[in-house]
Amino acid sequence: MPAITYMAEVGVEGRWFFVSPQIETMLGFTPDEWMADPGLWKSRIHDDDVEIAMQAEKRVQETGELYKAEYRMCARDGRILWFRDEGKILPDTPGARPVMQGVLYDITEYRRLEEQLLQAQKMEAVGQLAGGVAHDFNNLLMVIAAHNDRIREKLSTGHVLYADAVEIQNAVARATSLTQQLLAFSRKQVLQPRVVDMRSVLNDVGNMIRRLLAENIELKIEIEPELFPVKGGERA
């Protein structure tokens, strides 16, 4: 693990007596530049993490315990790096301020991997939830489809409600496709893209919306003659 060793007086304005050459590779400052400016350390700590570093240093001064803190620092080129800072007070150091010797470990990669793991765990939880919801919803759709089929069989094609029954059938088919995609996501199945006829999709959506509108509202859908092909996902 990349690291910077140092020796400095405790306190924001404490002098730096030594800092290893690795600081130039990590933060972009030479050891001489770093030691010449006691305030450089604090100025490079991420604004959200300054309090963490300061509180750890306060505990060291009050109790003499080991210094331990994790915080971000901004390199000269703007990169943000994570560090784990560990140090201890040297005994019998001359001067008004105690002197601390420590190591700054670069844990940026560790933090990145940790974040990826947390994200993967979140996605797994979402997948499990999606799978459960999709399974229950699919069962409801089967009941709706079965009852709608029975109703449609009793209606003639010219009946005023027949078109509504057909629209219910189409909506169930679309919802079933959606639940299949949710199940595919929860099971980490590969989705196979296919070309979707957007004219058909838009007309279906329009018909569904029209049946929800009041009689005094007219919905007009204008579809361009040449629509770009659109790909959608299906279960592999």
How far lies 194's CA from each of 174, 178, 181, 199, 231, in Å? Answer: 15, 15, 13, 15, 5
225 with 128, same domain: the answer is: yes
| Structure tokens that stand for 169 in this block | 């059938």
Q: Is residue 185 part of a domain?
A: yes
Q: Is residue 112 part of a domain?
A: no
Task: Please list the alpha-helical segments (H only) found in the chain.
Answer: 22-27, 31-36, 40-44, 50-63, 108-153, 162-186, 198-210
Q: How confident is the model at residue 5 (pLDDT cuts 50, 70, 90)?
A: very high
Q: What's the pLDDT at 47?
A: 95
136 with 230, same domain: the answer is: yes
Q: What is the pLDDT of residues 184-218, one digit of tens each?
A: 766 665 556 778 778 877 877 777 677 778 888 88
Element (H, E) at 194: strand 191-196
Domain boundary among 106, 138, 159: 106
28 with 96, same domain: the answer is: yes
151 with 100, same domain: the answer is: no
Look at residue 95 and give its three-state secondary structure.
Answer: coil
Orientation angle between helical segments 162-186 and 108-153, nearest 10 degrees: 150
Domain encompassing residue 39: 3-106
Q: How confident is the model at residue 225 (pLDDT cuts 50, 70, 90)?
A: confident
For residues 100-120, average pLDDT: 93
Q: What's the pLDDT at 65?
A: 86
> Which CATH number characterizes residue 37's domain?
3.30.450.20
95 with 141, same domain: the answer is: no
Number of domains in the chain: 2
Orientation angle between helical segments 162-186 and 198-210, nearest 10 degrees: 120
197 with 226, same domain: the answer is: yes
Q: Is residue 116 part of a domain?
A: no
129 with 66, same domain: the answer is: no
63 with 92, same domain: the answer is: yes
- Examine the pLDDT at 219 and tell me if it is beyond 90: no
Q: What's the pLDDT at 235?
A: 43
How far lies 109's CA from each of 25, 80, 85, 183, in Å? Answer: 15, 11, 15, 33
58 with 156, same domain: the answer is: no
Per the prediction, the chain carries an average pLDDT of 86
Domain boundary among 77, 106, 135: 106
Q: Is residue 178 part of a domain?
A: yes
148 with 197, same domain: the answer is: yes
Which amino acid belongs to residue 225?
P
Q: Is residue 117 part of a domain?
A: no
172 with 220, same domain: the answer is: yes
Q: What is the pLDDT of residues 12-61, one digit of tens each?
A: 888 999 999 999 999 999 999 999 999 999 999 999 999 999 999 888 88
Q: How confident is the model at residue 93 (pLDDT cuts 50, 70, 90)?
A: low
Look at residue 157 and give its three-state secondary structure.
Answer: coil
